[in-house]
Structure 1
Amino acid sequence: MTYQLNDNPVDWQPVAAPERRVFQGKFVRLEPLDVSRHGDDLWHALQGPDSDPKLWDYLPVGPFPERAVFDTWLNANQVSADPLFFTVIDNASQRAVGVFSYLRITPKDGAIEIGHIAFGRVMQRTPGSTEALWLLANYPMTELGYRRLEWKCNAQNARSIRAAERLGFVSEGVFRQHMVIKGRNRDTAWFSIIDSQWPRCRDAFNRWLDAANFDSNSQQINSLEALRDG
């Protein structure tokens, strides 16, 4: 891909940092991480017998063989301001089914990243997982006026790369030997959505999440890519 470099002056003022707040959707609700309320459900979703064994392959932490270590990780995330963690609550079951966060929050430049994504198996590849990411993306880009939304992952993490592309993030290349995670080299794939691209992504999300886009078996009629790029 060829990029058009831009060093033009901009009429820009710093934006606000994201707040700890609740985001209500059709399928899911996002709440600030609260270990006392969400801990049991998250342990079951992320480490229970029906959890995804590949969940922790590319995350910098986990898996957690003991609940105490898992709770230590959750407690540290609860009080952190950057990363700023949210729990995903399934509206149907009212159970916590995953966590993720904002990070690299830079209001002066209008840049923010979504990451630390740990969704339980029951949530993966569901409308709720797409809606959760939409809710976390829409807040800074639409309500707060950020210029740049970032997504980064291990360059070998095919599932995360596919998710980024499906959601409308644009590849910016690979940072070679960027990090050492769990004793292994990590080359990092970088993606972004910038403000000029956001309206098309936002409109596609809204159309995809509309009830008319799902059949009687709750299967999508039009893909998110088709609605965005068609």
Structure 2
Amino acid sequence: MAFNEPEGDLVTGPPAIDPSSLPSTTILGKDTPFLSHGITLRPLIQSHFNDLFTNLCGPGTEHLYKYLPGGPFPDIESLTKHMQWLIDEPSCYAFSIFSADKTHLSNQTPQVDDSHKNDSEEGTAISVICLLNISSPNRSIEIGHVLYPPTLQRTTPATAAYYLLMKFCFQDLHYQRVEWKCNDRNEPSKRAALRLGFTYEGTFRKHMVVRGRRRDSAWFSVLDDEWKGYVGAALEKWLEVGNFDEEGKQKRKLEDIRREVQLKRIEFEADRVRGKR
């Protein structure tokens, strides 16, 4: 090796794709209904704003915005301004989560009629989830600015939304690192990251100022080889219909399935090294 040759593994494979170059008709989950559990992800557009206001705003929803940079939004105008900012922000690519399950809908009265809806849109926009800090040259991307209504939180479709977006990043956009960052005080978000298979990397102290308050940020990530090796497979096994009883309760925890998949992967590699495979 030459004295001045750069160190580190050589990066191979197709280049990462900036999601902003994709068509606005992109729909995640439509081809895997058995894993998406009735939800789809669609690029956020203005026609979604009214349904998002109905499901994410109003009395009793203030707590949803505790760790976000904006909100709560008292009217459709303020929500529109924030959602348009997500659409226009170069380092962000926002999705609406659609659901046809009425149990995910808010009981609030819509502020305007629904004549704005596109006939091709199945279900209702109930939530927002974003890709952030998009760095195609470095093949790194982040999942963040997640805004779930209480009706979606801690549900199987909520996990399905994360799975769809992670799969999209790794398998369709060819990223090699998917990040998760949250306020270090946000314990539910940190637990969610670990449950999904993200690895805790450390806490960046005094990382940001949000709404005039200092924020320490907990960093997590999943790498492409981890996704291929066990994280993606575990999510798919957990989301299979057979893993839920008639009442929709899980038969096996995601963490247990992931440990099993990871152990089998280790045993497979050991056998391969010994020449048994």
**Is the TM-score greater than 0.5?**
yes
CA contact (8 A) 2:50 2:76 kept: no
- Counterpart among 91, 105, 112 of residue 134 in structure 2: 105
What is the CA-CA distance between 1:9 and the residue it aligns to? 2.9
Tell me which protein shows more strand as a share of its residues: 1
Report the TM-score when normalising by structure 1.
Answer: 0.91
| Residue number among 75, 84, 87 corresponding to 1:78 in the alignment | 87
Q: Is the 8 A contact 1:27 1:127 kept in 2?
A: no
Unpaired segments ≥5 residues, structure 2: 1-6, 30-35, 103-122, 261-277
Does residue 145 (structure 1) correspond to residue 145 (structure 2)? The answer is: no
Residue 23 and residue 81 in structure 1: after superposition, are their counterparts in 2 closer, same or farther (change >3 A)? farther
- AA of the residue aligned to 1:209: L
- Greater Cα shift, 159-168 or 67-76: 67-76
Residues 1:22 and 2:27 aligned together: yes
Question: Counterpart of 1:197 in 2: which secondary structure?
Answer: helix
State the partner residue of 1:32: 43
Identity %: 36
Question: Cα deviation per residue 1:185-213 (whole Å; 9 max; x = unaligned)?
Answer: 10000000011211201001110110000
Residue 122 of structure 1 aligns to a residue whose secondary structure is coil
Q: Distance in 2 between matches of 1:103 and 1:155?
A: 18
1: CA distance, partners of 2:188 / 2:199: 15
Distance (whole Å) between structure 2 residues aligned to residue 69 and residue 86 of structure 1: 19
2:54 paired residue number: 44
> Which residue pairs with 1:115 in the alignment?
144
Aligned length: 222
Aligned pair partner of 2:193 in 143, 164, 168: 164
* CA offset digits 1:144-165 (Å, max 9, x no partner): 3211000000000011101101
Deviations 1:47-89 (A, max 9, x none): 13463x3211111111112321111111222334421000000
Give 5+ residue unaligned stretches, structure 1: 1-6
- Amino acid of the residue matched to residue 10 of structure 1? L
